[in-house]
Amino acid sequence: MFKVVQESLNETKHEACIVGIFERQSALGGVLAAWDEQLNGQLTALLKEGDLSPKRKQIAKIHTLGQLNIKRLYFVGLGKESDLTFDGLREAIGRLFKMLKGEKLTEAAVALDTFITENLDASEAAHAFAEAFALATYQFVGYKQKSNEPEKKLEEMTVYTAADPKEVEVSLLVGSVYGRATNSARTLVNTPSNLLTATDLADYAVELARKYKFEYEVLEKAEMEKLGMGALLAVNKGSSEPPKMIVLKYQGKEAWENVIALVGKGVTFDTGGYSIKTKDGIVGMKTDMAGAAAVLGAMEIIGELRPEQNVIAVIPATDNLISADAFRPDDVITSMSGKTIEIKNTDAEGRLILADAITYAKHHGANYIIDVATLTGGVIIALGVHTTGALTNHEEMFEQLLEASVETGECIWRLPITEKDKERVRNSPIADLNNSPGREGHAIMGGAFLAEFAENTPWVHLDIAGTSVTSKDHDLGPAGATGVMVRTLATFVERFQ
């Protein structure tokens, strides 16, 4: 897809070239100056007249009418040079690539050095380009009848730079891997639940394990019964589809120590059970396995880049349906940890399956745990749809995860767990825990419940109920699944100390 060269842009023919321009750019330099001269000063004139806008995310297309070896120039406005961030560059490039989808180009050049600033080097710019290309051009193919006409796609980009080509190539590869893995998660979340059962999710994970040589394990219902996974089994009782406990193990160190567990909620469809959702609220519940998808996407990146870390992915997978056998409010169940749980709300099922998954992650030697889940509507009320909610029992670990989220542009915000919150979760007259103490602080209650199973193991909970899908197209993708937390989890693993 990407080819890095150090020769002059003027020496090779291209269908198009992508160039960055900044506000208050006093004069055109480098290759832009050479093109301006060949075009009789027209670029300078267009810049002065405002037809080439350097404002951030403004895109301008110029036809060269045979005066250059390049047929079309695409100028990307980047705003003030001092204000440009990695995230800002990625969004601006994403907007360009969304526009280029309709241009029917098959190849293009990139003048990478026009995007470099004092704060962003060539490697960072290359990563942003590759990641933005994958994310912005993603499309869920769906199930409509297809046209037989072959679709023209941008399949080759030649990146021109004076920087070390090997470093740029590595960054392009990493950016592509991050983008593709996020898209893999998006596709899983966008897939209808009748085509993505717990068994299908397990099969996907096994394929991933075989591709990247992970150790893997898929527990069946009988094995779960022997291990006492009463919380996961309770949620599955209403279903004709068998549950799965999926485990992927990546060992990047000689000894199995300092193990990071990534635990993802895999509810493939959620009716709410007997605490049934409304007719509007039930639509879209195929996305309730976005936590599992995020973990599988992160494992794809880990498999590609092979960090020197030990990682275990644990995914409890089932749907939550209604039948004569389904679990009910007022039931008492026993989790794998031995803790008993009074069921007040069968729609608070995600925390139940995660409880057994967290316990099983510790059984496999997890020293650090991050769980990811579309857990509560309450997090949307608290933080909206652009920010993931987080709760933790470990300051240092959370700070490292926060740094990773800032680096990837996936905003998270910490919510508190107080002693009174813990008391509410433990407030049951007949069991150790109550799975739904009330609507007040709903997102916090979900996290406080999971903290009872993490116990003293350093742990962070990420509630992606608001950020896992979007109703609008955006610079880095279409409406639908976002693949949120794939890149943050992978970056955390890579950087963790």
What's the N-to-C CA distance of the chain in angstroms? 34
Helices (H), 250-339: 290-305
Catalytic residue among 277, 414, 422, 495: 277
Q: Which two tokens stand for residue 294?
A: 């995020």
Q: How far is CA 109 from the centre of its chain?
A: 28
Catalytic residue among 339, 351, 424, 487: 351
SS3 category, 59: strand
Contacts of residue 111, defined as CB under 8 A and 6 or more positions apart, other chains included, come to 9, 17, 18, 19, 20, 31, 32, 160
Q: Is 36 annotated as a binding residue?
A: no
Q: Which two tokens stand for residue 491?
A: 């970056």
CA distance 441 to 448: 10
CA distance 103 to 424: 57
Q: Is 265 annotated as a binding residue?
A: yes
Q: Is 349 annotated as a binding residue?
A: yes
Q: Is 463 annotated as a binding residue?
A: no
Q: List, as one string, the DSSP characters of 39-107.
A: TTTHHHHHHHHTSS--STT-EEEEE-TTSSSEEEEEEEE---GGG--HHHHHHHHHHHHHHHTTTT-SE
Q: Which DSSP symbol is given to 209?
A: H
Q: Is 432 annotated as a binding residue?
A: no
Task: Output the CA–CA distances (angstroms, integers) from residue 448 to 169, 464, 466, in the order listed.
Answer: 44, 16, 19
SS3 category, 115: helix
277 included as an active-site residue: yes
Q: Which two tokens stand for residue 128?
A: 């942003």
Could you tell me the strand order of the sheet in which 2-5 lies?
A: 2-5, 156-160, 107-111, 14-21, 70-77, 59-63
Q: Which two tokens stand for residue 245?
A: 């406990």
Pick the closest to residue 165 from 1, 5, 12, 2 (CA basis).
5
Q: Which DSSP symbol is given to 98?
A: H
26 contacts 33 by C-beta, under 8 angstroms: no
237 included as an active-site residue: no
SS3 category, 421: helix
Q: Which residues are catalytic?
A: 277, 351
Which residue ranges are tagged as binding site for Mn(2+)? 265, 270, 288, 347, 349
